[in-house]
Amino acid sequence: MQAWSSPLEAELFAPRRVSSGRPNHAVAPFSPGLPVHNSPVRTKNCTVKSYGVDGKDDSEYILSAIKQCNNGGHVIFSKDKKYTVGTALDLTFLNSIDLDIQGTIQFTNDTDYWQENAFNQTFQNATTFFQLGGSDVHVYGGGTLDGNGQVWYDLYAEDIYTLRPILFGTIGLKGGRIEDLKLRYSPQWYNLVANSSDVVFSNIDIAGDSVSTNPAKNTDGWDTYRSSNIVIQNSNINNGDDCVSFKPNSTDIVVQNLICNGSHGISVGSLGQYLGEIDIVKNVYVYNVSMSNASDGARIKVWPGISSALSGDLQGGGGGGAVSNITYDGMVISNVDYAIEITQCYGQKNLTVCSEYPSNLTISDITMKNFKGTTSKKHDPLVGYLVCSSPSVCGNITIANIDVTSPSGASTFECGNIEGIESQVNCTKAI
């Protein structure tokens, strides 16, 4: 009989564990063109203990198991257990490890602790409950990560400067797959992918609305930032902001086979927010998206060249850079306010002022094609908005095979400062 040196070791290595088979969803039909991450079989297993008491922090057990099985192991969060996390966990040291989340991980509702201790990710005051990084990491198992968001939705309604943590922080990950998970009730964005490369997200189910009169705001599905060779695919997203958003310096990205509901669309940006910063988004392919009950389908949003305020906690303008080689191919829309929106006046409602101070960030080589469906009544008869701040910083935009109508049957776009757009769509001049 095996003799364990400690109760913790017995728990970690006992043979009663049941592990999930590692999924391997094909990256298809498109890929960023670079090799997709694969990794060898793990050689040891660790099962994470839980106190089993609602509200008691299991972080010490989680961290211990991960350290035991780092560098070639498989960590199991058991299917019949709920794990409570009340400590900000820095997991950026991971190497060659599988995190098999079969049960539920719930973050505590201690808003004072998290505002003080969540990890600051610098961009747009973003913070995360934890940060997962390193190299060769797989996360899967069919389980749930729960951000306990309701207390945050109510708190944000009282104070818009509340720092609400992001549920899943992929920070500095070089090579990994995150698959077969349910993400629920995030206080803010569900996923931030920052300073990462060669990562695939597949079969992720996102949901979690407010049960009070205070809405769940800014709950983006994914935000990519300073990252490349990223795939987001085969997922279902019910949220209250961008379904996917490509933030500054996101390159070589494929988004495909998504069902989005209640969102603000698949968005490039916002970009050009910070004076003196250079934002690049290029080589992005978005394919086969179902978009329902949303403000936008395909969206590119850039700040103008002058300081502007969208809201008290979101303002900017004057930054530089470029958006290039972006394709949206195949989108079915239903009850979406604008099927397509391109703006270089984000945060600035006065188009005269926007034209006087055109964006320092250029938009070029954009293709949006094969859209069909019906917009909402909000902008009827308009189905889209294509307005740049100046034709000198916005061009080579192709809009093709757009079979989208408003409820009244019209298919009109509001257009401005984009050369040649009138020959592609039915335009009315921007006010």
Residue 368 CA: distances (Å) to CA of 95, 105, 365, 405:
39, 39, 10, 16
Instruction: Determine which one of 37, 74, 138, 264 is catalytic.
Output: 264
Counting other chains too, the contacts that 210-216 makes at CB distance below 8 Å and 24 or more residues apart are 210/149, 210/150, 210/153, 211/150, 212/150, 212/153, 212/154, 214/153, 214/154, 214/156, 214/157, 215/153, 215/240, 216/149, 216/153, 216/185, 216/240
Q: How many domains does the chain have?
A: 1
Q: Which residue has the tokens 């592609």?
A: 424
Alpha helices in 321-406 (DSSP H): 351-356
3-state SS, residue 111: helix
Is residue 29 included in any domain, yes or no?
Answer: no
What local confidence, expressed as pLDDT, does residue 431 receive?
57
Q: Which amino acid is at 296?
A: D
What local confidence, expressed as pLDDT, does residue 6 receive?
38
Pair of tokens at residue 69? 């099985």
What local confidence, expressed as pLDDT, does residue 17 receive?
56
Is residue 169 included in any domain, yes or no?
Answer: yes
Q: Which residue has the tokens 């728990």?
A: 11
Judge whether 37 counts as a catalytic residue: no
Give the whole-angstrom CA distance, residue 177 versus residue 193.
12
- Which residues, including other chains, have CB under 8 Å from residue 158's CB and lie 6 or more apart? none
Is residue 8 included in any domain, yes or no?
Answer: no
- Which residues, including other chains, have CB under 8 Å from residue 288's CB and lie 6 or more apart? 256, 257, 258, 329, 330, 331
Q: Which amino acid is at 137?
A: V
| Residues facing residue 237 across a β-bridge | 206, 260
Judged on CB neighbours under 10 Å (0-12, 13-18, 19+), 80 is exposed
> pLDDT tens track of the chain, all 431 residues?
333 333 334 344 434 457 888 998 999 999 998 776 678 899 999 999 999 887 899 999 999 999 999 999 999 999 999 999 999 999 999 999 999 999 999 999 999 999 999 999 988 899 999 999 999 999 999 999 999 999 999 999 999 999 999 999 999 999 999 999 999 999 999 999 999 999 999 999 999 999 999 999 999 999 999 999 999 999 999 999 999 999 999 999 999 999 999 999 999 999 999 999 999 999 999 999 999 999 999 999 999 998 888 877 778 899 999 999 999 999 999 999 999 999 998 988 888 888 899 999 999 999 999 999 999 999 999 999 999 999 999 999 999 999 999 999 999 999 999 999 999 999 998 75
CATH number at residue 253: 2.160.20.10
Judged on CB neighbours under 10 Å (0-12, 13-18, 19+), 180 is buried
Short-list 389, 362, 401, CA closest to 269:
362
Phi, psi at 146, each rounded to 5°: -120, 120
Sheet holding 119-120, edge to edge: 119-120, 127-128, 165-166
What local confidence, expressed as pLDDT, does residue 193 receive?
98
Alpha-carbon 380 to chain mean position: 29
Is residue 186 included in any domain, yes or no?
Answer: yes
Give the whole-angstrom CA distance, residue 179 versus residue 96.
16
Is residue 51 included in any domain, yes or no?
Answer: no
Q: Which residue has the tokens 């389908």?
A: 297
Give the whole-angstrom CA distance, residue 147 versus residue 151.
10
This prediction's pTM: 0.94
Is residue 378 included in any domain, yes or no?
Answer: yes
What local confidence, expressed as pLDDT, does residue 349 receive?
84
- Is the Cβ–Cβ distance between 231 and 36 less than 8 Å? yes
Pair of tokens at residue 288? 């086969």
Is residue 260 included in any domain, yes or no?
Answer: yes
What local confidence, expressed as pLDDT, does residue 316 receive?
87
Is residue 14 included in any domain, yes or no?
Answer: no
Angle (CA) 263 268 273, round 5° = 105
Handedness of CA 267, 270, 272, 276 (dihedral sign): negative
Q: Which domain holds residue 145?
A: 60-429
